[in-house]
Structure 1
């Protein structure tokens, strides 16, 4: 049933008005990408003979996802649906669709490592972020989460699973344990269990976080999580938002997108940080960490065991080295 407060609006007009509203504040490439992605949505609505934004429902959006899924790669579909959500939030603001409709756009889950290999957090940038955190947010939750993800290349689900009892101070390591019965299953189950070496420098950050900034709480199963909020074990989505916020470039220098931090939507708290085009997800840290290990001369077999990823998947999805960098790595083992 229609919301009585909605105002009729033609989809093509809506997209045109939305793009006009965005034009002054985005780059040319962002504008072109949004126009192209929303063009596919308009094609779908035309095919479905929907000529009023008021008629959009969750089922409409589900059918659109199904309609596009067969034509493009999952990661491309995710990007298109991200643009669609932003558009629908704007449409809700102008009373063309119900509030909350954007949240009914559900992206397909990606297989492990399916993001494009070009989307990676480079070592130089990661080191700059770590230096900033070390100076201004030492032993904070953001610092310890970023440090662990970058140093080990572990998945966010592994970080989420860590308890205080999993710290191994004598070895400067953490013990990753699969505990599905208490809601912290590792990606690969029991086969993903392993000790992961941090080293003294990185382990010290963890110890100082525990001493100074960890909330002394238990989770719903009586366990003592490593990464906590006041409510208990930090949710994976919460950690994800911390990483997005930590990787916003304006944390350390001027915005590369010519946005004013005082008015930029991506600066409105952790919840909005992912809207920054230059922020990065935890998965890009994993890819960057694996690539950094390989560039440092760590054998792929060692990286494979350390990061709990098969060699096939490592080479296909996580190795972001350039052809020249790969050649230079091989040269070290060849006679001159």
Structure 2
């Protein structure tokens, strides 16, 4: 075994993030950065200033410290235990970091194995009716690789990148997309007399930009799998079936389908037999505890924007919702996480 080389935790984390920058999606990388901040904070509190000093007992103490919700706690506040699924995500990222640290001779080669992952019960991994950003990233990557430019890919990508409501996405026509300009853009327009209203009427009309990657995928869908249909008003819908414009129930079902872990070949976190589980059947996909609705996807987008400290006005305008509504119905950050982000803006 190679001799270990001294390395500060904070510097090791920076090296890890730099090393994985080209292989992880942006949001995944940011999630890793957030989780590893907790590890660096624990190291600082515990007096660990060199990774070579870590042992199995330290990893156990960090696990307990993180589980009890000590990350980002303000003076005088009482820590609140985090959800098992959050702890598992935290420890999974730590294991990946320690594997990297072993490659640069900062910890023993098999040291990451000393971080056991918690086993989740059937409901532990079900968040408060929202879609966690990490799951959304996994779904988008799976769609990009195995179902590229399919209708389901288009639906989920637009839900996630624009945060729009399902009805607004259903109402898109081909003319509402500008994919040839410098920045790909979709336009959400209120057309109540033709069966595609949007929630806040004309006030909710807006242009939303999408990434170049999604813009390219949208064009591939239009040029390829899209069924060339017009609706009863002579409009050319973006999302179509052999019968015309896609129905709301079909979009909802498509989202239930792609948010099931088994559909992503990730097994079943609910200890169900996939061969006999009723949620595998198309008409019962919503019965999977992990499946999520389009509305849950929208809530996940809001939580992600707030977590990444996107300005409130940008979030409000992009998602066509007031700050009050966003705070009350959509933002699923915990109070501890909100406190930590507020602290980051203070001058000390």
What TM-score results when the alignment is normalised by the length of structure 1? 0.63
Deviation sequence 1:223-251 (CA, Å, 0-9, x none): 00001101110001100000001111111
Tell me the residue number matched to 1:177: 189
Tell me the residue number matched to 2:208: 196
Of 261, 275, 283, 2:287 maps to 275
Q: Gaps spanning 5+ residues in structure 2: where?
A: 1-125
The answer to whether 1:134 aligns with 2:169 is no
Alignment of 1:145-294 (within 5 A): 145-169=155-179, 170=181, 171-252=183-264, 253-269=266-282, 271-294=283-306
SS where residue 131 of structure 1 aligns?
Answer: helix
Does the 8 Å CA contact 1:117/1:318 hold for their aligned counterparts? no
Aligned residue pair count: 220
Tell me the residue number matched to 1:54: none
Q: Gaps spanning 5+ residues in structure 1: where?
A: 1-115
Does the 8 Å CA contact 1:293/1:303 hold for their aligned counterparts? yes
Provide the rounded CA distance (Å) in 2 between the counterparts of 1:130 and 1:242: 13
Bigger CA drift: 260-269 or 240-249?
Answer: 260-269
SS where residue 285 of structure 2 aligns?
Answer: helix
Tell me the residue number matched to 1:296: 308
SS where residue 207 of structure 2 aligns?
Answer: strand
Deviation sequence 1:300-326 (CA, Å, 0-9, x none): 121011000111111111111112221
CA RMSD after TM alignment: 1.5
SS where residue 128 of structure 2 aligns?
Answer: coil
Deviation sequence 1:86-120 (CA, Å, 0-9, x none): xxxxxxxxxxxxxxxxxxxxxxxxxxxxxx99211
Provide the rounded CA distance (Å) in 2 between the counterparts of 1:223 and 1:261: 41
Provide the rounded CA distance (Å) in 1 between the counterparts of 2:161 and 2:239: 16
Provide the rounded CA distance (Å) in 2 between the counterparts of 1:211 and 1:241: 24
Q: CA deviation at 1:332?
A: 3.2
What TM-score results when the alignment is normalised by the length of structure 2? 0.61
Does the 8 Å CA contact 1:300/1:311 hold for their aligned counterparts? yes
Does the 8 Å CA contact 1:290/1:319 hold for their aligned counterparts? yes
Q: CA deviation at 1:152?
A: 1.1
Q: CA deviation at 1:221?
A: 0.9
Does the 8 Å CA contact 1:117/1:320 hold for their aligned counterparts? no
Do the aligned partners of residues 186 and 117 (structure 1) sit closer, same or farther apart at CA in structure 2, a change above 3 Å counting? farther
Q: CA deviation at 1:333?
A: 2.3
Does the 8 Å CA contact 1:291/1:321 hold for their aligned counterparts? yes
The answer to whether 1:318 aligns with 2:333 is no
Alignment of 1:63-74 (within 5 A): none
Provide the rounded CA distance (Å) in 1 between the counterparts of 2:238 and 2:308: 29
